Amino acid sequence: MIYKKTETLPSAVELRGLFVNDPLALRVQRAPVFHRDSEGRIMRDMPQDKSLDSTMDLLADGYRFISKRCQQYQTKVFETRVMLQKAVCMQGEEASRLFYEPDRFTRKGAVPPNTLKLLQDIGSVQSLDGEDHLERKRMFLAMMKPDSLQRLSDIFAEQWLMQLDKWVGKDSIIFLPEVQDILTRAVCIWADVPLTEPQAKLRRVEFASMISGAGSVGLRNWWGLFLRNQNERWAEKLISGIRETQKENPSGSPLEIIVWHRDREGKLLDVETAAVELINILRPTVAVAWYLVFVAHALHEHPECKIRLQSGDPRYLEAFVQEVRRFYPFFPFIAGRATTNFEWHDYVFKEGSLVLFDIYGTNHDPDIWKDPEAFRPERFMENEINLFSLVAQGAGDVVKGHRCPGEWIAIELMKRSAHLLTNMMMYDIPEQDLSIDFSRMPAIPKSKLIMSNIQRVAQPVAPDLSPVTLDGYAPRSDFAFPGTPPLRENMETQGVEPLAQ
């Protein structure tokens, strides 16, 4: 419902009529929804959620908190209070374009400290703006060369197949901790982080607890914070040790890229910041485990997808993975603070305003997605998806904005796991509670996905894949996925170095 400045203003009675049968809407403001600013221009009043504070509603509605109210107020933007602070909630493609305009919103001061500490943390790339952000982002993008991504994917498959041999002898496994373990080992080998066997177990628990503590309050959050401290001390010791004993070698592994990264003034990152950024590679790669559970969940719920994946069509594999990222809940929303005063669709935003951009709701917005509650990979083969519509890992320009630099990693590992699940093993999904609680963040099926009767398939099922890797997977060199920035082109146009051929 967008009224232009020149249109006749609707009366308050007309507007109230929209909400008359809606109990939640009784909390919507009853005042007129337009006002004149100091220059006499007609500006829109932001629809208001009138509850004194929505924090409890947010915890109860979880991923659906913003969508539910957008539907009830027939709007894509409304104002509420969260933890006693005013917050503007917004969803949809236009909101995505606004929120991901480089430097329009800062992440500084937007996220509660206990959540921030468990995710990107103070001093991280996400907390930076402008030139400092651009420069630090380069460091992350330098790790995302096609050959490096392919190497991570191959290490991951190798670790998976080693675990698979152990799964075969067991009655059943719980998939979530198993894939967390595989990912912890794979990302550490890839990044060149040394791990003994006991350390591998400890690191898995630390990373998993940070991820699962980030979206919670109370015990789960405190446990995550406790383990985060332990993890930081380990990462700091590792980085100091390398700086003390090795020569500077910035062109090497992800660990070396961080250890020897120099800021705009030519200084090495201080040890605490370097540790934070190392953890910002390792922890989110382990977080991909949540997506891998959703891959297996989708295969179980939609056996027709499994059959198509076994045919070895690489386009369908990509479409399937993108649909998993769109359909299933992971990040509910992202918080930012306006860096300046500005107007958007006749709404006024003041510098410092807190804005919550609805990731889950935008991925389910009926204005973008036809039949959004249906799981239908084909939509990614039929329609053009742009950089602002599929927002599972942020939106827009990956170099200049805060879009996730690990998107290619997540997609590639999901594709590889879909391939392994459909072509390299057979398993049963016994009776269990696979329901997903949308108030728990990050969400996961209640059972964490139990598999039984696991068997290894001797020969990869997928035909005609060449060149063939250890699991019959077709490697790729372009890493361009629908709705995701193409790796090389994007980096080349932005002049990001170094680039792989």
Instruction: Tell me whether residue 392 or residue 451 sits nearer to ligand HEM (CB atom).
Output: 392
Task: Name all contacts of 362-370 with Cβ < 8 Å and 24+ positions apart.
Answer: 362/91, 362/92, 362/93, 362/95, 362/96, 362/389, 362/391, 363/325, 363/326, 363/327, 363/390, 363/391, 363/392, 364/67, 364/326, 365/91, 365/92, 365/93, 367/92, 367/93, 368/92, 368/93, 369/326
Beta-sheet strands, E only, within 367-463: 425-428, 450-456
In the bound complex, what is the minimum distance in angstroms from residue 387's beta carbon to ligand HEM?
A: 13
Question: Under 8 Å CB-to-CB from 91, ≥6 apart: which residues?
Answer: 66, 67, 70, 76, 77, 357, 358, 361, 362, 365
Q: Please measure the distance between the N-terminal and C-terminal CA atoms of the chain and give it in whole angstroms.
A: 49
3-state helix, strand, coil in the chain (%, to 5): 45, 10, 40
* Residues shown for the chain: 501
Q: CA–CA separation, 289 vs 205, rounded Å?
A: 13
In the bound complex, what is the minimum distance in angstroms from residue 90's beta carbon to ligand HEM?
A: 13
Instruction: Tell me whether residue 15 or residue 324 sits nearer to ligand HEM (CB atom).
Output: 324
Q: CA–CA separation, 385 vs 365, rounded Å?
A: 13
Instruction: Tell me whether residue 70 or residue 356 sits nearer to ligand HEM (CB atom).
Output: 356
Instruction: Tell me whether residue 287 or residue 296 sits nearer to ligand HEM (CB atom).
Output: 287
In the bound complex, what is the minimum distance in angstroms from residue 76's beta carbon to ligand HEM?
A: 18
Instruction: Tell me whether residue 49 or residue 358 sits nearer to ligand HEM (CB atom).
Output: 358
Instruction: Tell me whether residue 28 or residue 409 sits nearer to ligand HEM (CB atom).
Output: 409
**Amino acid at the residue 381:** M
In the bound complex, what is the minimum distance in angstroms from residue 188's beta carbon to ligand HEM?
A: 13
**Amino acid at the residue 67:** S
In the bound complex, what is the minimum distance in angstroms from residue 464's beta carbon to ligand HEM?
A: 30
Q: How far is CA 90 from CA 74, 267, 328, 416, 483, in A?
A: 12, 39, 19, 34, 21
Interacting residues with ligand HEM (CB under 6 A): 107, 120, 125-126, 137, 140, 280-281, 284-285, 287-288, 291, 330-331, 334, 359, 392-394, 402, 404-406, 409-410
In the bound complex, what is the minimum distance in angstroms from residue 330's beta carbon to ligand HEM?
A: 4
Instruction: Tell me whether residue 19 or residue 291 sits nearer to ligand HEM (CB atom).
Output: 291
Instruction: Tell me whether residue 334 or residue 424 sits nearer to ligand HEM (CB atom).
Output: 334
Task: Name all contacts of 13-20 with Cβ < 8 Å and 24+ positions apart.
Answer: 18/74, 19/72, 19/73
Pairing of strands 347-349, 342-344: antiparallel
Instruction: Tell me whether residue 117 or residue 402 sits nearer to ligand HEM (CB atom).
Output: 402
In the bound complex, what is the minimum distance in angstroms from residue 209's beta carbon to ligand HEM?
A: 16
In the bound complex, what is the minimum distance in angstroms from residue 165's beta carbon to ligand HEM?
A: 26
In the bound complex, what is the minimum distance in angstroms from residue 402's beta carbon to ligand HEM?
A: 4
